[in-house]
């Protein structure tokens, strides 16, 4: 089954035309109106609706997105709590709610829900042996004009130091809604990383890596909102494109199968993540530990803080995460 993309549709001029081998179908067909304006919108609506159905669900906020949860807070005052600008308390309270048998959802900007109260995530959730759904916005540099204080390219890498977490990096509001709903239904510790940056199309979630293109030279694994730049940057190249909206657990089998299907001697992998470069490299190596492979990881620069405002697109270009940067790296890597 193939999908042709209507590049003449409004706002879709930069949408890549997929090759002849793409599969399976996107969750939202091209041209269909997405039901949510943004990933945050998808998150707040999904959780608000679930609060009406499930009495064990609770939301803990620290001002961020409090307006979006105002109606839910009015309906469920004991289960939607805004702690004020108190992120340590937000995580601790979530841990206490879970100890009392509730399923807590906590949410803020990524630096304030992951980096600032990191020890609380480690101890008040993990060490206490309880689950929670941690949902961030802001991503690596959604607000480039806001500067470093509101940017968290290291969030996933930090979470990856902790045992027992699931990490979702949706690339589309529809994926965000599905992954949040899945997280609410579970009992474990889940980190859902939302972003203003979204791909043109949503892909099915929860079934491992999606193989969007087939090629023979190598495998490019795109994570979350990095997909569109990967699709554009690899257009015309003879590579397989894998898409991941969930990086932990890592779909080892999906990566191995994609590598095997290239038919090449020796796997060549390009990992493209919209956060700290190399964050998932250990998982790639672990999946392929029994076979020779080479890996190039693209992502946000580890070596220097980018002291620059401008737009997210400017930062993409600076980190080599725009289509041109991805193309340059993939060709250099495969040609070498």
Partner 1 sequence: MCMALTDTAARRGYRDLPYLISLMTGDEKHTAAAESTLDVLWVLYDRVLRVSPGTAEDPDRDRFLLSKGHGPMAFYAVLAAKGFIGEDELPGWAGAGSRLGHHPDGRLVPGAEIGSGSLGHGLPLAVGTALGLRAQGRTARTVVLVGDGELDEGSNHEAIALAGRLGLGRLTAVAVDNASSRHGWPGGIAERFAVEGWSTATVDGRDHGALYRAFTDHPGDRPHAVVARIRPGGAR
Residues that bind partner 1 (CB under 8 A): 55, 58, 60, 78-79, 81, 83-84, 86, 88-89, 91-102, 104, 119-120, 123-124, 127-129
Picking from 328, 318, 258, the residue whose alpha carbon sits closest to that of residue 288 is: 258
Q: Min. distance of Cβ 154 from partner 1 in angstroms?
A: 21
Q: Is the dihedral of CA 185, 202, 197, 306 positive or negative?
A: positive
Distance, CA of 206 to CA of 246 (rounded, Å)? 8
Strands 267-276 and 189-193: unpaired
Nearer to partner 1, 123 or 237 (CB): 123
User: 113 or 270, CB closer to partner 1?
Assistant: 113
* Shortest reach from residue 79's CB to partner 1, in Å: 5
Q: Which is nearer to partner 1, 127 or 308 (CB)?
A: 127
CB of 164 to partner 1, least distance (A): 12
3-state SS of the chain: helix, strand, coil percent to 5?
35, 20, 45
**Nearer of residues 79 and 248 to partner 1, judged by Cβ:** 79
In the complex, the smallest distance separating the C-beta of residue 125 from partner 1, rounded to whole angstroms, is 10
Please identify, using beta-carbon distances, which residue of 58 and 194 lies nearer to partner 1: 58
Q: CA-to-CA distance for 86 and 282, rounded, in angstroms?
A: 34
Nearer to partner 1, 18 or 102 (CB): 102
Burial 237-271 (b: 16+ CB within 10 A, else e): bebbbbbbbbbbebbbebbeebbeebebeebbbbb
Q: Least separation, in Å, of the C-beta of 157 and partner 1?
A: 22
Helix (H) or strand (E) holding 167: strand 165-168
Q: How far is the CB of 177 from partner 1 (least distance, A)?
A: 25
Among the listed residues 143, 74, 136, 71, the one whose alpha carbon sits nearest the alpha carbon of residue 107: 136
């Amino acid at each position: 089954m193939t999908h042709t993309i209507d590049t003449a549709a409004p706002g879709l001029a930069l949408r890549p035309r997929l090759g002849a081998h793409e599969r399976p179908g996107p969750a939202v067909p091209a041209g269909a109106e997405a039901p949510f304006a943004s990933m945050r919108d998808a998150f707040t609506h999904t959780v608000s609706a679930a609060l009406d159905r499930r009495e064990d669900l609770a939301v803990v906020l620290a001002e961020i997105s409090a307006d979006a949860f105002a109606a839910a807070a009015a309906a469920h005052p004991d289960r939607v709590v805004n702690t004020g600008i108190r992120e340590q308390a937000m995580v601790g309270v979530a841990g206490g709610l879970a100890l009392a048998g509730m399923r807590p959802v906590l949410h803020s900007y990524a630096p304030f829900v992951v980096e600032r109260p990191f020890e609380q995530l480690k101890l008040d959730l993990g060490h206490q042996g309880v689950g929670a759904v941690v949902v961030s916005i802001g991503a690596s540099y959604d607000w480039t004009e806001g500067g470093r204080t509101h940017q968290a390219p290291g969030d996933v890498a930090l979470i990856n130091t902790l045992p027992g977490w699931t990490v979702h990096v949706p690339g589309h509001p529809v994926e965000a809604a599905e992954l949040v709903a899945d997280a609410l239904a579970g009992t474990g510790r889940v980190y859902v990383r939302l972003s203003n940056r979204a791909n043109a199309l949503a892909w099915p979630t929860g079934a491992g890596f999606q193989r969007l293109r087939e090629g023979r030279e190598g495998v490019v694994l795109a994570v979350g909102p990095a997909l569109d730049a990967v699709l554009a940057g690899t257009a015309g190249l003879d590579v397989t494109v894998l898409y991941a909206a969930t990086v932990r657990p890592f779909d080892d089998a999906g990566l191995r199968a994609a590598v095997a299907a290239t038919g090449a001697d020796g796997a060549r992998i390009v990992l493209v993540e919209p956060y700290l470069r190399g964050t998932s490299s250990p998982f790639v190596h672990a999946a392929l530990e029994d076979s020779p492979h080479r890996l190039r990881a693209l992502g946000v620069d580890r070596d220097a803080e980018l002291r620059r405002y401008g737009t997210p697109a400017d930062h993409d270009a600076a980190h080599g995460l725009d289509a041109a940067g991805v193309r340059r790296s993939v060709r250099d890597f495969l040609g070498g």
